[in-house]
Amino acid sequence: MSTHAPSSPSSANDTLSYEQAGVNYDLIDPLKISAQRAAAATGAHLAGHGFSEVLASRGESAYVVDVGPFYIASIVECLGTKTLVADEMRQLTGKSYYDSIAQDTIAMAVNDLITVGATPLVVQAYWAAGGSDWFGDKQRAQSLVEGWKRACDVCQVAWGGGETPALAGIVEAGRIDLAASCTGLINPKERLSVGDKLGAGDAIVLLASSGIHANGLSLARKLVERLPQGYLTEIEPGLSYGDALLAPTTLYSPVTEALYKAGIQPHYCANITGHGWRKLLRHQGKFTYRIHTVPPVTPVLKFMQEHAKQDDREAYSTLNMGAGFAIFVPAADAARTVEISKACGIDAWVAGQLEEGEKQLLIEPLNIRFSDDDLQLR
């Protein structure tokens, strides 16, 4: 059970935090705990079919089942509220943006699925509209189809099918609730990366994000109220805030597949989504994660941080701040991991390493420390 967006500590004055942006995780968390407990009790059913769950995948980003010759990983992921930005921007610019939105949706599923070592094979589309008329807008619908197809091409997955319900009375009129499910294989089984191999000395390689991706949108939308020109505010010459927000989420599966082909076995991966860099602490082990190199901050995130008047600690605790995905590899493979990512067109940095010690993330260039207490994901 994962919730979609980060919680963050409230803070002073006109700093804008997540609670203020309308997401209250205290209300969701008791349900999550109850659901996780009930879900855990169902793992035993697999024995009746001759299979078993990979217990360590409970609490990870994708659920893994051992079916003998390989593992199967599966997931369903929601896009969140990024469509609301696309809908506003469409009214302002006449562009549809749903090709980018499609990629965002697939990225939410694929980027999580690959963290456990899986090769994504099949994506299913979940497009629940507020009414049949949503699908009657041909430009937008066609844009959604094309973007979905293109993201499947990038990830080399088969688009299996999906659902296009019209849910008047549940989904708001004129809106669409987008999600993707993804099924993949961990094959050969040695590719499984649910954290048992992670250890002191491992390098932390960070992969560039393209922008906000699909987390932090509640905050991004709230911020618009403070901008006299709203989404059309230029964050740099020729680039509006809205257009920058709508840069599609980077798809990282080409990198994890290329690493496998190059003989590099990640010890662990973290998709940096909600909770920002606190996601680097996701693994259950007790390690100190020491960061010596911080990637450049994507302009739209820098802009958001400034206008939300967040200090670095708050910004790095909620947004990806330029790093969309973390790969933990043996130190000897770190430089080559960066090269391989760059060859896939995704900038990357050897950003730090794991050490024995207290469970904490030290972002040294920024003098930030996050402890285990700052992340309660499971």
- Closest CA relative to residue 55, chosen from 152, 153, 194, 155: 194
Residue with tokens 């937008």: 140
Size of the site for a copy of itself (CB under 8 A): 91
Give, as ranges, the residues between 107 and 166 that touch a copy of itself (CB under 8 A).
Answer: 119, 121-122, 124-126, 128, 131-133, 135-136, 138, 141-142, 145-146, 148-149, 152-153, 156-166
Task: Tell the smallest beta-carbon distance from residue 261 to a copy of itself (Å).
Answer: 11
Question: Tokens in use for 234?
Answer: 């230029």
3-state secondary structure of 66: strand
Segment holding 226, helix H or strand E: none
Rounded Cα gap, residues 238 and 234, in angstroms: 7
3-state secondary structure of 48: helix
Query: What single-letter amino acid sits at 38?
Result: A
171 or 239: whose CB is closer to a copy of itself?
Answer: 171
Taking CB under 8 A as the rule, which mask of x and - marks residues 27-56 in contact with a copy of itself? xx-xxx-xxx-xx-xxx-xx-xx-x-x---
Which residues are within 8 A (CB) of 156 and not within 5 positions of it... i.e. 6 or more apart? 120, 253, 254, 257
| CB 194, CB 116: distance < 8 Å | yes
Q: Omega of the bond prior to 188 within 30 degrees of 0, cis?
A: yes
102 or 363: whose CB is closer to a copy of itself?
Answer: 102
Q: How many residues does the chain have?
A: 378
Task: Tell the smallest beta-carbon distance from residue 372 to a copy of itself (Å).
Answer: 22
Task: Tell the smallest beta-carbon distance from residue 316 to a copy of itself (Å).
Answer: 23
Rounded Cα gap, residues 170 and 130, in angstroms: 7
134 or 287: whose CB is closer to a copy of itself?
Answer: 134
Q: 99, 104, 177, 202: which one contacts a copy of itself (CB under 8 A)?
A: 177
Task: Tell the smallest beta-carbon distance from residue 29 to a copy of itself (Å).
Answer: 8
Taking CB under 8 A as the rule, which mask of x and - marks residues 346-365 in contact with a copy of itself? --------------------
Q: What is the DSSP string of 316-354?
A: HHHS-TTEEEEEEE-GGGHHHHHHHHHHTT--EEEEEEE
Question: Tokens in use for 203?
Answer: 């390098």
Give, as ranges, the residues between 53 and 92 that touch a copy of itself (CB under 8 A).
Answer: 53, 58, 62-63, 65, 67-70, 72, 74-78, 80-81, 83-84
Rounded Cα gap, residues 95 and 242, in angstroms: 12
Task: Tell the smallest beta-carbon distance from residue 53 to a copy of itself (Å).
Answer: 6
Give, as ranges, the residues between 296 and 325 that touch a copy of itself (CB under 8 A).
Answer: none
Question: Tokens in use for 55?
Answer: 């217990």
Where b means 16+ CB within 10 Å and e means fewer, 344-373 reads bebbbbbbbbbeeeebbbbbeebebebeee
Residue 22 binds to a copy of itself (criterion: CB under 8 A): yes
Residue with tokens 């020729």: 238
Q: 16, 17, 23, 318: which one contacts a copy of itself (CB under 8 A)?
A: 23
Task: Tell the smallest beta-carbon distance from residue 133 to a copy of itself (Å).
Answer: 6
Residue 284 binds to a copy of itself (criterion: CB under 8 A): no
Task: Tell the smallest beta-carbon distance from residue 204 to a copy of itself (Å).
Answer: 26
Residue 189 binds to a copy of itself (criterion: CB under 8 A): no
Give, as ranges, the residues between 198 and 257 that touch a copy of itself (CB under 8 A).
Answer: none
Rounded Cα gap, residues 233 and 212, in angstroms: 16
Task: Tell the smallest beta-carbon distance from residue 8 to a copy of itself (Å).
Answer: 14
Task: Tell the smallest beta-carbon distance from residue 134 to a copy of itself (Å).
Answer: 8
